Chain A
Amino acid sequence: MLRVYILLALKVLQRRKFYTFISLFCISVTLMAVLLVTSLIENIIHPPGAERNSQRYLATDKMSMTAANGRSNQRSLPGYQFLNAVVKPMKTAQLTSIFSIHNEVLGFRNGKRIKSQLKRTDSQYWEILQFDFIEGRPFSEKEAAQGQHLAIIGENTARQYFNDNSALGQTITVSNESYQVIGVVKDVPIFQINAYADIWVPLFANPSTAFTKQALGGYMGLIMAETSVQVPAMRSEFNKRLSAYKHPDPKKWPTINATANSKFEQFARLFDRNLEAKPKTKELTIGIIAAIVLFMLLPTINLVNLNISRILERASEIGVRKSFGARSSHLISQFLLENIILTFIGGVIGFALSLLVMYFISFSGYFPFHSFEINFRVLASAITVIVFFGLLSGVYPAWKMSRMNPINALKGAI
């Protein structure tokens, strides 16, 4: 029976090619847009590449200090002093790292100016984040502590400075400091804010150590548990240590707030400046789903309209089947199946289209080094969209069809 239905559905699709084209166009374009958005969000909250262990770590990237009068408030990235006191001694964490935010630096090569983003990191940073080394190695604990002038650079930066020659052992001079290149890694897109940079150098390869005394500003912390199960324990230890922490000038800044965030929480905090409150991950999820549903409203109504027209066109066929005793449920399931087959074909086209657009976006360099990745979660959302589309746009017309009066249907007048 199912086989007959499928064959029938394919025949129907071929019969009126214009309708089929319109339906496929609606479905595929809508699905493409949804796929692009979900893939982008997915890349931010479950990043591949260097930040692929994101399930196991939390990032401390926001901090605020409130003065005694309760009004004056400073809010920025945490400072090294704070991270060293709170994040470094964490017992539940297997690895902890302190590193700076990326800063723009300038280098010159044969009179050509090269802008790069420079990040200062410790050695555990390279264990938490899984950079893909093309050549060379990360710096060791000893090298980092001594503040040796070593640098790890991104593939693109290596090409800018040294063309196609090997960068290992070469010297790179940015912002009047020289570093010896010991490693080249695959480039990281800016969405991976913990990993993002073009040049990475040891924290203490800094002309001044004044930053170690500063509580607020410029640095970020990462804490990584052995498995993702231990993340909640790590979170509560962080909060305990945070409440025990005292600012070096406790009279002036009695209240300190900071957070340890998963990737999704980091993303949610972009839309909410309140550090005291929990990150609004639930609200964000609902917001994203609502926006997608709203976006799909118009294409869905459109498909419902089209489907009703298609059914009316097949009135005589339905009339014949009804007079020969076909039950409404048969007709409904047949029509729904037809519709799902149609949406499925549209889905496949939409998927191909989105791959094409993703390729073009990557190629255009609008998001440098960003490669869209489609994983099972993105696929699952795509399938949800297809099923949603297929059912929603099919149910009402199918119900309408099942209620046709066979006599009128046979006459062609409804």
Chain B
Amino acid sequence: MFAHIFKMMWQRKRANSLIIIEIVVAFVVLLAVVSFIRISYETYSAPLGFEYKNTWAIEFEPDIKDRAQIATTAKQTLQILSQLPEVDDAHTMYFPPFIGASSSTVLDSDNGELYIVSTAVTDGGPQAMGMTLLAGRWLDESDNGQTIQSVIINQRLKEGLFGNANAINQVFDYEGDTKLRVVGVFKDFRQMGEFSPVGNYMMFRTNLDNPKTFFRAINIWVKPGTTRNFEEKLQKILHQSAPNWQFKVNTWEQLRDSHISSGMVARFVPAVIALFLMLMVAFGLLGVLWQNVTRRTQELGLRRAMGATATMVQMQIVFELLVITLMSITIGLLIAIQIPISGVIETLTWGMFFQSVTISTVIIMLLSVACAYYPSLIATRYLPADALHYE
């Protein structure tokens, strides 16, 4: 029966061309939104590589005339802070995580361009953040005064630079004439938060005895149970240690919350738009099909007269739309498959693409069955007698 309906619909493809175009566009739009959400889910569920509980970020804006003494002032401040009863540990960083500010470089390597995000922390910072070391060691005192600066890199960057080879103590070319030595490989550090793409990451060592060191944040690890009321006391202490600096205090959890909520909104809006578009398409198909069925009284009545059961007529109407939908999905797929073939979107793997195609296909098929259901029910109500005195 299906083959027969397919043949009929193939004959009528020109008459149905507008419906086909509509479903093709709907399918492509749905596939785009589903793929986007699928990719987001992938990045969201990839491990962050660090803990964010009980950590506070202090961003500061130093007074211009103090710029030369940032490191000295910060060193004193770190000391004062780590002596507070509420504070377990304190470390500097370029920028706190989750806020979207970062330092980045593009490096030419044998495997093409590598986009690398980096930061620098004082010794012990990675341990405090709960990062995982896979090979080598963390940065420490022994990296002082080396001719080639030491760095630690994440697993992905290690693979990008050295492939499967051993990376420890390897030296690679960095910006201009500088070279860097890898002393450790860590699992990951997704500074920009869950919704940021998984990428290459590199961590330098901050030596507070070096006056040229750059950083704009101090992170403190507070005792569990410390409330936000501690900030008033903290601000006073900070103000005393650096009177002309501006300080901004946020907990990492808070920074993460706003990262997550803005990330969610950025995915919610296209989803709502897609929902409305699908609703429109569904209503549209329902309308078209309804009209279509009313016009076919004669044909459907005749089929009943020749002994077709109500279920068979109903199946015919539903299958007709399903065949059209399948034809449209095939066309839509031919268009959409160009994206993974050309590799425009790197994060979209074939696996994710096919999952998204499956989800979109199921949604569109369900949609068309739902749209065809009511018109098909009407079709079963035609009596052979109606068809016979139609004219």
Contacts between the two chains (Cβ within 8 Å), count: 100
Q: Is A302 an interface residue (CB 8 A)?
A: yes
Given contacts A297-B25, A301-B21, contact A104 B248 (CB under 8 A): yes
Q: Is A22 an interface residue (CB 8 A)?
A: yes
B249 pairs with A210, CB closer than 8 A: no
Chain A nearest CB from B15 CB (Å) reads 10
Contact with A along B284-297 (1 / 0, CB 8 A): 10111011101100
Contact of A298 among B25, B63, B239 (CB under 8 A): B25
How far apart sit A310 and B294, CA to CA, in the bound complex (Å)? Answer: 12
Given contacts A106-B249, A113-B231, contact A299 B287 (CB under 8 A): no
Q: Which of B38-46, B209-217, B275-283, B340-348 contacts A (4 or more CB under 8 A)?
A: B275-283
Q: Is B232 an interface residue (CB 8 A)?
A: yes
Given contacts A175-B246, A298-B29, contact A309 B283 (CB under 8 A): no
How far apart sit A298 and B25, CA to CA, in the bound complex (Å)? Answer: 7
Q: Is B389 an interface residue (CB 8 A)?
A: no
A309 pairs with B281, CB closer than 8 A: no
How far apart sit A211 and B66, CA to CA, in the bound complex (Å)? Answer: 11
How far apart sit A175 and B276, CA to CA, in the bound complex (Å)? Answer: 47
Q: Is A90 an interface residue (CB 8 A)?
A: no
Residues of A within 8 A of B29 (CB): 298
Which residue of chain A lies nearest to B229 when distances are taken between CB atoms in the complex? A111
How far apart sit A377 and B288, CA to CA, in the bound complex (Å)? Answer: 36
Q: Is A59 an interface residue (CB 8 A)?
A: no
A309 pairs with B287, CB closer than 8 A: yes
Q: Which of A25-33, A131-139, A240-248 contacts B (4 or more CB under 8 A)?
A: A25-33
Chain B nearest CB from A319 CB (Å) reads 14
B243 pairs with A25, CB closer than 8 A: no
- Count of chain A residues near B, Cβ 8 A: 42
Contact with B along A340-357 (1 / 0, CB 8 A): 000000000000000000
Which residue of chain A lies nearest to B284 when distances are taken between CB atoms in the complex? A302
A106 pairs with B277, CB closer than 8 A: no
Q: Is B61 an interface residue (CB 8 A)?
A: yes
How far apart sit A366 and B269, CA to CA, in the bound complex (Å)? Answer: 13
A25 pairs with B280, CB closer than 8 A: yes
A64-92: which residues lie under 8 A (CB-CB) from chain B?
71
How far apart sit A22 and B282, CA to CA, in the bound complex (Å)? Answer: 10
Q: Is A308 an interface residue (CB 8 A)?
A: yes
B65 pairs with A210, CB closer than 8 A: yes
Given contacts A208-B244, A298-B29, contact A306 B232 (CB under 8 A): no
Contact of B283 among A26, A71, A214, A313 (CB under 8 A): A26
Q: Is B235 an interface residue (CB 8 A)?
A: yes
Residues of B within 8 A of A18 (CB): 287, 290
Residues of B within 8 A of A210 (CB): 63-65
Q: Is B19 an interface residue (CB 8 A)?
A: yes
Given contacts A211-B64, A298-B277, A302-B280, contact A313 B235 (CB under 8 A): no
How far apart sit A340 and B239, CA to CA, in the bound complex (Å)? Answer: 66
Contact with B along A86-124 (1 / 0, CB 8 A): 000000000000000001111010010100000000000
Which residue of chain A lies nearest to B29 when distances are taken between CB atoms in the complex? A298
Q: Is B26 an interface residue (CB 8 A)?
A: yes
B284 pairs with A305, CB closer than 8 A: yes
Which residue of chain B lies nearest to A308 when distances are taken between CB atoms in the complex? B18
Chain B binding surface SS class: helix
B244 pairs with A207, CB closer than 8 A: yes
Residues of A within 8 A of B277 (CB): 298-299
Q: Is B228 an interface residue (CB 8 A)?
A: yes
Chain B nearest CB from A65 CB (Å) reads 16
A304 pairs with B280, CB closer than 8 A: no
A301 pairs with B65, CB closer than 8 A: no
Chain A nearest CB from B179 CB (Å) reads 18
Contact with A along B212-238 (1 / 0, CB 8 A): 000000000000000011011001000
Contact of A305 among B19, B249, B295, B391 (CB under 8 A): B19
Residues of A within 8 A of B247 (CB): 106, 175
How far apart sit A145 and B29, CA to CA, in the bound complex (Å)? Answer: 58
How far apart sit A358 and B145, CA to CA, in the bound complex (Å)? Answer: 60
Residues of B within 8 A of A306 (CB): 284, 287-288
Residues of A within 8 A of B284 (CB): 22, 26, 302-303, 305-306
Q: Is A19 an interface residue (CB 8 A)?
A: yes
How far apart sit A295 and B305, CA to CA, in the bound complex (Å)? Answer: 46
How far apart sit A313 and B244, CA to CA, in the bound complex (Å)? Answer: 78
Q: Is B386 an interface residue (CB 8 A)?
A: no
Contact of A309 among B22, B65, B273, B291 (CB under 8 A): B291
Which residue of chain A lies nearest to B232 when distances are taken between CB atoms in the complex? A108
Residues of B within 8 A of A310 (CB): 291
How far apart sit A162 and B29, CA to CA, in the bound complex (Å)? Answer: 51
Given contacts A26-B280, A304-B18, contact A309 B64 (CB under 8 A): no
Contact of B276 among A29, A106, A111, A211 (CB under 8 A): A29
A313 pairs with B291, CB closer than 8 A: yes
A214 pairs with B228, CB closer than 8 A: no
Contact with B along A20-42 (1 / 0, CB 8 A): 00100110011001000000000
A29 pairs with B280, CB closer than 8 A: yes
B246 pairs with A105, CB closer than 8 A: yes
Q: Is A163 an interface residue (CB 8 A)?
A: no
Chain A nearest CB from B263 CB (Å) reads 14
Contact of A103 among B65, B246, B279, B287 (CB under 8 A): B246
A210-260: which residues lie under 8 A (CB-CB) from chain B?
210-211, 213-214
Contact of B281 among A104, A295, A302 (CB under 8 A): A302
Which of B176, B281, B283 has the largest count of A CB atoms less than 10 A from its CB? B283
How far apart sit A106 and B236, CA to CA, in the bound complex (Å)? Answer: 11
Residues of B within 8 A of A207 (CB): 63, 243-244
Q: Is A165 an interface residue (CB 8 A)?
A: no
B61 pairs with A113, CB closer than 8 A: no
A298 pairs with B280, CB closer than 8 A: yes
Q: Name 16 extra pairs, CB < 8 A, besides A26-B283, A30-B280.
A: A19-B287, A25-B280, A26-B284, A29-B276, A33-B273, A33-B276, A104-B248, A106-B249, A111-B232, A299-B277, A299-B280, A301-B18, A302-B283, A303-B284, A305-B22, A308-B18
Question: Closest 10 A-B residue pairs measured CB to CB?
Answer: A302-B284, A309-B291, A210-B64, A210-B65, A22-B283, A301-B22, A309-B288, A26-B280, A176-B239, A22-B287
Q: List 12 contacting pairs A-B, 8 Å CB cutoff, sorted by A.
A: A18-B290, A26-B283, A106-B249, A111-B229, A295-B273, A299-B280, A301-B18, A301-B21, A305-B19, A309-B288, A411-B391, A412-B295
